[in-house]
Structures are given as C-alpha cells and as structure tokens.
Amino acid sequence: MDFWPEFLASSWGKEFVAGGFGGIAGIVSGYPLDTIRVRQQSCTPGSAFNILRRVAATEGPLALYRGMAAPLASVTFQNAMVFQIYAVLSRALDRNVPASDPPSYKGVALGGFGTGALQSLMLTPVELVKIRLQLQQRNILDNKNQMTSCKGPTDVARNIFRQEGWRGIYRGLTITVLRDAPAHGLYFWTYEYVREQLHPGCRKNGQESFRTMLIAGGLAGVASWICCYPLDVIKTRFQAQSQSTPLRYTGIVDCFRRSVKQEGYNVLWRGLGTAVARAFVVNGAIFTAYETALRCLFINNNKEVHANIQTENAF
C-alpha cells in the first residue's frame, strides 16, 4: 500500500500539500520586509529604507534573509496544518450549512479564530528563534563582550532551551494567542468576502482568477495585520530579550507600559507601513499558491480516476 498516492487522493491530503506550497511562497516572497519590520519594532531608529541601506552596508544583503531557515523548515507543516484546521473548524462550528455549499461567513470567522489560537502552539517557538536571529548582529554590536554569535536556528533553539528551558522556548505564547486568534478570524473572513465580491459565485465553483486570488489574499493580510499590529510590536520586544542580555521587561503588561512611557503610543504602530506592504505581497502569494496547488491536485486526481475507469471498462 503506497502512502502518498492515497494521501493525495483524500481532501485532507490535498489541503495539506496545497497549504505547504502556500506557506513556502509566502516566506520566500516577504522575508526581507519581515526582517526590516522586526528591526523597526525593536527600537532600531529610522525609516524602512534607511534600515535597508544600513543593513546592506554593514551586514551585507544576505542579512535580510538571516533566520529564514527556521520558518522555512517548519512552514510547510505549519501552513498546511493551518489550512487543514481551518477547513475542519469552519464546517464544524456552523453545521447549518449543507456540505455541498461553502462555509458560512460565521463559520469562516469562528474557524479562523480557532485556527489562530491552535497554530500559536506551533508558531511561538519558530517566531522566537526567527526574531533572535534577525536581531542577533545588532545585539552583538550593542553588547560586544556579553554575546556570542549563533550559527543558525538549531543553535539558537539549543541555547534558549539550555538557558531558559521550555518556558524560554514558549516565551510570548500568551500574546501570540491574543494576536493570532482574532487576526486569523478577520483574515479568513476578509479573504472569503473579498473574493466573492470580486468574482461572484467563486466560493462555490472555485473558478476565481489569479487577479482575484492576489487581491483578496493581499487585502486579507493587510486587514489582519492592522487589526493585531500593536500586539505584534509588544510580542517582538518581549521575545527579543534573552538571558544573555539584561531583561528589560518582566511581562507583557510591563513591556506595554514601558514601551509607551518611554516612546509614546506611536511606538505601537512603528513599522506598520513595512508590515502592510509585506502582508499584501506575502498573503497574495500564499493564497495564489494555495488555490493553484489545490486546483492542480484536484485536476490530476480527476484525470487519474477517469483513466482508471477507462482501464476497467476496457476489461
């Protein structure tokens, strides 16, 4: 019995693989902007363009991709699980809709909310390692005699676990849940609503154009980021601190209070322009890759079924 052919023949398998393709497309397309966003949020002064020039001049262009291995290694599984969990929850949380019809907008929003909360368990350690790597060179320059460079995500994760244990690995879990649950509810609702407005009937027949996928995915990403951005700023600052540097914040509330007291409420929106630009690019790529992969998988499966029927009829 071959596992992969049977797995890909199921709707679960198709959703899983298509979600993986979407995740990879999102990471590759938006990672440099993500690095700039993280630096803006964590006290680095200057506009996105100035930070880009400074990083390229002092650390080299590849510094914009530092830490990408951590999310890239996990994104296939993570994004695949996100789309699969969403597909299940959006149906389970509103059973009044027939199976032949697309999930209701209520089911979409509730399914997205639950998906965001559950995916935080996978995402928190990944984002922690990513943030530490993205800020590593800056922290070394600020603390020359106190820090040593980690070679990659595995080295960072090992150091965090050795120094702080499981509590360190899951630093920021609470605020990640607070950020991702409502953001994912809005994310999936916006995508489904916008694509239906741009291409009426596409939620049922799945025949929307690439333009519709890109615009709906991009706007969904922008809406969800604007909704949760202040929480993301606090999360970045809280996760950026480690045992090897002086702890600036004792908790999420303390991080919020100190940040606002020292830099004003504008700090909660620092880097929003970069995040919104990145969100449109990344999520347009994610949904386009996801829907395209899903469409190809279903077409290939239908061809195989048709070929098997013809073979059986021949006998």
What tens digit of pLDDT does each residue of 136-185 get?
755 544 554 444 566 678 888 888 899 889 998 999 999 999 999 999 99
Kindly tell me if the per-residue pLDDT of 245 is higher than 90.
Answer: no
DSSP 150: -
Q: In angstroms, rounded to a whole number, what is the distance separating the alpha carbons of residues 279 and 95?
A: 32
Instruction: Please report the DSSP string for 73-126 in residue order.
Output: HHHHHHHHHHHHHHHHHHHHT-TTS-TTSPPPHHHHHHHHHHHHHHHHHHHHHH
Residues 6+ apart with CB under 8 A from 110: 89, 90, 93, 94, 185
How many other CB atoms sit within 10 Å of the CB of residue 307?
Answer: 10
Calculate the CA 285 to chain-centre distance: 12
In tens, the pLDDT along 272-307 reads: 999 999 999 999 999 889 888 888 876 655 544 334
**Per-residue pLDDT tens digits for 29-87:** 888 988 888 888 876 667 888 888 888 888 888 888 888 877 877 777 888 788 889 98
Residue 101, both tokens:
């019809």
Q: What is the pLDDT of residues 190-217, one digit of tens each?
A: 999 999 999 999 998 878 888 999 999 9
Which of residues 32 and 11 earns the better pLDDT score?
32
* Fold exhibited by the domain 3-314: Mitochondrial carrier fold (1.50.40)
Number of C-beta neighbours around residue 154 at 10 A: 13
Does the predicted TM-score (pTM) go above 0.85?
A: no
pLDDT of the residue at 42:
76
Is the predicted pLDDT of residue 308 greater than 60, yes or no?
A: no
Residue spans of the domains in the chain: they are: 3-314
